[in-house]
A and B are shown apart, each in its own frame.
Chain A
Amino acid sequence: EAQVTQNPRYLITVTGKKLTVTCSQNMNHEYMSWYRQDPGLGLRQIYYSMNVEVTDKGDVPEGYKVSRKEKRNFPLILESPSPNQTSLYFCASSRVWNTEAFFGQGTRLTVV
């Protein structure tokens, strides 16, 4: 089944403790991206990747890192999480950047 898989689905952590949210797709898509979803603000893009080893900042990249060492995986790294990063995070992939995006199930992160 074609899908985008994120882990974990839920995470509660403390300020400053490094964490990684994994994202994997099995559709051989070149394009992957991360979004955060906040009430009243909709979806905002954090980072995106056009292909392996090619990443670029989205609209709200501060406090986040990503890597794209292989086509299927695009982890999101929070080196020192802060409470303002409490949010619902979505990973997405698409064949190319301007075609239909397939989304993961979401990761609800709480930073206390």
Chain B
Amino acid sequence: AQRVTQPEKLLSVFKGAPVELKCNYSYSGSPELFWYVQYSRQRLQLLLRHISRESIKGFTADLNKGETSFHLKKPFAQEEDSAMYYCALPQGGKLIFGQGTELSVKP
């Protein structure tokens, strides 16, 4: 079965430090992958998608088919980046989400 794994429940960094939120998937073929973000007490919203190859709020994510990964990166974390981040894979009529990683950026 297709799965999305986010191995870190919590990632804590200091402001200005680089950030990498890990996402691994199991899927044969060319997946379409998304990163969603949920700020405190707000709804989930799309952060970026693999197919668009864009950078949103300084975040980027590269699909590595060899390692079946779609890690989210930002070179310099800001306090306002503190949130829950979910990696998601559309498959079989639904979105499969990872368990989420809480990013905490300390001043």
Binding site for B on A (CB under 8 A): 4, 33, 35, 40-45, 48, 50, 56, 58, 90, 92, 97-101, 103-106
- Which of chain A's residues have a CB closer than 8 A to the CB of B98? 42
- Which of chain B's residues have a CB closer than 8 A to the CB of A101? 36, 44, 46, 95
A40-B99, A105-B43 known; A45 vs B86 contact (CB < 8 Å): no
The reply to whether A97 and B99 contact each other, CB–CB distance below 8 Å, is no
- Which of chain A's residues have a CB closer than 8 A to the CB of B18? none
Q: How far is the CA of A56 from the CA of B94 in the complex (A)?
A: 10
Nearest CB in chain B to that of A33: its residue: B94
Given contacts A42-B97, A44-B97, A98-B32, could you give 14 more A-B pairs where the C-beta distance is less than 8 Å? A42-B6, A42-B98, A43-B44, A48-B94, A50-B93, A56-B93, A90-B44, A92-B44, A98-B90, A100-B46, A103-B43, A103-B45, A104-B43, A105-B43
The number of A-B residue pairs with CB atoms under 8 Å apart is 49
Q: How far is the CA of A98 from the CA of B100 in the complex (A)?
A: 19
The reply to whether A45 and B99 contact each other, CB–CB distance below 8 Å, is no
Secondary structure class of chain A's binding surface, majority of residues: strand
B65 adjacent to chain A (CB < 8 Å): no
B46 to chain A, nearest CB (A): 5
- Which of chain A's residues have a CB closer than 8 A to the CB of B49? 100
Q: How far is the CA of A87 from the CA of B25 in the complex (A)?
A: 26
- Which of chain B's residues have a CB closer than 8 A to the CB of A105? 42-43
Q: How far is the CA of A105 from the CA of B95 in the complex (A)?
A: 18
The reply to whether B86 and A42 contact each other, CB–CB distance below 8 Å, is yes
Contact of A100 among B34, B86, B97 (CB under 8 A): B34
B41 to chain A, nearest CB (A): 9
Q: How far is the CA of A58 from the CA of B49 in the complex (A)?
A: 23
The reply to whether A33 and B45 contact each other, CB–CB distance below 8 Å, is no
The reply to whether B100 and A42 contact each other, CB–CB distance below 8 Å, is yes
The reply to whether A40 and B9 contact each other, CB–CB distance below 8 Å, is yes
The reply to whether A33 and B95 contact each other, CB–CB distance below 8 Å, is yes
- Which of chain B's residues have a CB closer than 8 A to the CB of A90? 43-44
